[in-house]
Structure formats: structure tokens, C-alpha cells
Amino acid sequence: MATANLTTSRFWVAAVERAVRTFAQTLIAALGLDTTDILHVPWEHGLALAGTAALLSLLTSIAAAGTGSDGPGITETPTTGRNP
């Protein structure tokens, strides 16, 4: 079993990509919960929630390092950047 190397750029690129996806998904979900128009959405709360979710995603990637493949997740392997 390969272990994730926290010093490789591949690990960090994959972990940051996961955190950015989590941020965007959480922000959309938080803002979508408000039924008012977009100008009256509580942006501060949505951004705070999304930022916290992204931080937790990054910390989860670090905590899961070494538990599975070479990626930041248990079942995720970062690609080399080339399509097969």
C-alpha cells in the first residue's frame, strides 16, 4: 500500500482542489437555503461556513494521508496531469 507524501506538490494540488470544491459546494448550499433574493443573502455567514468547510476538507486530507493510496483521500490518487 502506498502512503501519501505530504511533501509532494501532487498531494497538495489534489488536496487544495478538493478544498476549493468543498468551499464552492458549501457556499452554494448555504446561499441556496435563503429564500430571499440574491441581494439580501447573508454573504458573511455563507462565506464563513464555506471557509470552515474548506478548512475541514484540507485537515481531513492531511489526517487521511497514509491511510490509502498516494492521494489526499482514502481512495483518491492524484493524476500525473496527462490524459491516458
Give the three cell numbers for residue 35.
429564500
The domain locations on the chain are: 12-65
For residue 7, give the DSSP letter: T
pTM for this one? 0.59
pLDDT digit string (tens) for the chain, length 84 residues? 445 577 788 888 888 888 999 998 888 877 776 655 666 767 888 889 889 999 998 888 888 776 655 555 555 555 565 554
Smallest CA-to-CA distance from 11 within 83, 67, 79, 59 is with 79
**CA quadruple 77, 73, 59, 65: dihedral positive or negative?**
negative
pLDDT of residue 3: 52
What pLDDT was estimated at residue 63? 82
pLDDT for position 79 = 59
Angle at 6 between CA 4 and CA 7, to 5 degrees: 125
What pLDDT score was predicted for residue 1?
Answer: 40
Count of CB atoms situated within 10 Å of the CB of 9: 8
Q: Which residues contact 32 (CB under 8 A, 6 or more apart)?
A: none
Is the CB of residue 27 less than 8 Å from the CB of residue 45?
no
